[in-house]
Amino acid sequence: MSRRIAVILGGRSSENPISIASAASVVGALERGGNEVVTVQIDREGHWQLGPGTKAIESGDRLPGQEVATTLSGVDVVFPVLHGPFGEDGTVQGLLELANVPYVGAGVLGSALCMDKDVFKAVLRDAGVPVTENITLRLGDEARNPFGYPVFVKPARLGSSVGITKAHSVSELQEGVRLAFEHDEKVLVERFVSGAEVEVGVLGNRKPIASLPGEIVVTHNEWYDYEAKYDEGEMDLIVPARLTEGQIERAQELAVRSFVATECEGMARADLFVRDDGEVLVNELNTIPGFTSTSVYARLFDASGIGYAELLERLADLAVERFERRRQLRF
Ligand SMILES: Nc1ncnc2c1ncn2[C@@H]1O[C@H](COP(=O)(O)OP(=O)(O)OP(=O)(O)O)[C@@H](O)[C@H]1O
Ligand SMILES: [Mg+2]
């Protein structure tokens, strides 16, 4: 179906370049699918600009200007292809709710919940979903680690492994906590999980489906850090993951249960661990996962029989379906 679609890209977070790469793939495929695509680019300073080829809004305008607002509210669907804070965390979703326009992916609450690894896990624990164990440090707290070494230290609300340390000693813990606090006011110290790293794509609104699980095999580095994610040839994705039938089903079940428990809609990529003893744990959900045609999310669905172009069309359909559904509510 041919639609007018606005793709929002860039963003204030350190994942800005990843977003630009994702968006290039998304725009290309949507155009090839017969859609009319306009782009709205947000730069690292938070300036919004219609692009490319369209003239910029007055310089110094830090909020979406008139032209951007008119563009966003005049399309059939908005596709925010933004990763991390100020994009994947409910902020842009709130703006799109106010603009009263259908948009792809999780709403305000689901986006905010999945962005915050600390609150996310609290919600999942309440839903009986097994998650990785952690303590939470807040600004001013001393570094501490009840789990032994190695241990993972993470900013609560970021992505792409930015600011994350695998600490092997007290000094690395302290350095890791210091680094993580540069990125966020809340930091997780998380028990190391020894096992396989598995990702599952989830697609849908009320009745979401799970892709085949894929297994992440890091070929150069010790763990799945920024380089392993984005440098050519440093990661192998094995689909389906080398798991038992039972573990595959369990990973898919937990991915979908996490999606529902955190109020996700449209899409998410669930990151899980299959521990050496066979237990499956949820690590996190990414509500706007990397979205080039060779990104993990797209490859998982491709291996499950839904190609990239169809995936994008389905996401646009889901955005419209939610919009129409919610329009029936009496607020
Ligand atoms: N508790 C843990 N035990 C073992 N490895 C871990 C643990 N936590 C994180 N890792 C490793 O660090 C990587 C990044 O962690 P995580 O997925 O939490 O961060 P992220 O920055 O949000 O990633 P994404 O790019 O998926 O948004 C994981 O893919 C995994 O390789
Ligand atoms: Mg992850």
Beta-bridged to residue 99, according to DSSP, are none
Q: Which ligand is nearest to the CA of 228?
A: 1
| Residue 78 and residue 64 share a domain | yes
Q: Is the CB of 193 under 6 A from ligand 1?
A: yes
Q: Is the CB of 13 under 6 A from ligand 1?
A: no
In a domain, 329, yes or no: no
State the distance from the centre of ligand 2 to the C-alpha of 206, rounded, in angstroms.
Answer: 24
Query: Contact 217/236 with Cβ under 8 angstroms?
Result: yes
CATH number reported for the structural domain that contains residue 167 in this entry: 3.30.1490.20
Q: Which ligand is nearest to the CA of 134?
A: 1
Query: What is the amino acid identity at position 119?
Result: V
CATH number reported for the structural domain that contains residue 97 in this entry: 3.40.50.20
- Residue owning tokens 């580095």: 221
- Alpha carbons 206 and 266: distance in angstroms, whole number: 9
In sign, the C-alpha dihedral spanning 267, 1, 301, 154 is: negative
**Along the 331 residues of the chain, how does pLDDT read in single tens digits?**
799 999 999 999 888 999 999 999 999 999 999 999 999 999 999 999 997 644 444 444 556 677 888 888 899 999 999 998 899 999 999 999 999 999 999 999 999 999 999 999 999 999 999 999 999 999 999 999 999 999 999 999 998 889 999 999 999 999 999 999 999 999 999 999 999 999 999 999 999 999 999 999 999 899 999 988 888 889 999 999 999 999 999 999 999 999 999 999 999 999 999 999 999 999 999 999 999 999 999 999 999 999 999 999 999 999 999 999 999 998 8
Query: Contact 155/128 with Cβ under 8 angstroms?
Result: no
Query: What is the amino acid identity at position 152?
Result: F
| Residue 154 and residue 83 share a domain | no
Residues involved in catalysis: 15, 160, 230, 269, 271, 284, 286, 290
What ligand 1 atom has the least distance to the C-alpha of 191?
A: 1
Q: Is the CB of 86 under 6 A from ligand 1?
A: no
State the distance from the centre of ligand 2 to the C-alpha of 42, rounded, in angstroms.
Answer: 24
Nearest CA to ligand 1 atom 2: 192
Query: What is the amino acid identity at position 126?
Result: D
Nearest CA to ligand 1 atom 14: 161
Query: Contact 100/322 with Cβ under 8 angstroms?
Result: no
pTM attached to this predicted model: 0.94
Q: Is the CB of 287 under 6 A from ligand 1?
A: no
Greatest alpha-carbon span in the chain: 59
| Residue 262 and residue 123 share a domain | yes
Query: What is the amino acid identity at position 92?
Result: V
In a domain, 330, yes or no: no
pLDDT at 59 (0 to 100): 46
- Residue owning tokens 């906590």: 177
| Residue 89 and residue 12 share a domain | yes
Number of structural domains in the chain = 3
Domain extent for 148: 134-191
pLDDT at 310 (0 to 100): 97
Query: Contact 210/198 with Cβ under 8 angstroms?
Result: no
Structure tokens at 272: 């899980």
Mutate to test the pocket of ligand 1, among 18, 124, 152, 279 (most ligand atoms within 8 A of CB): 152
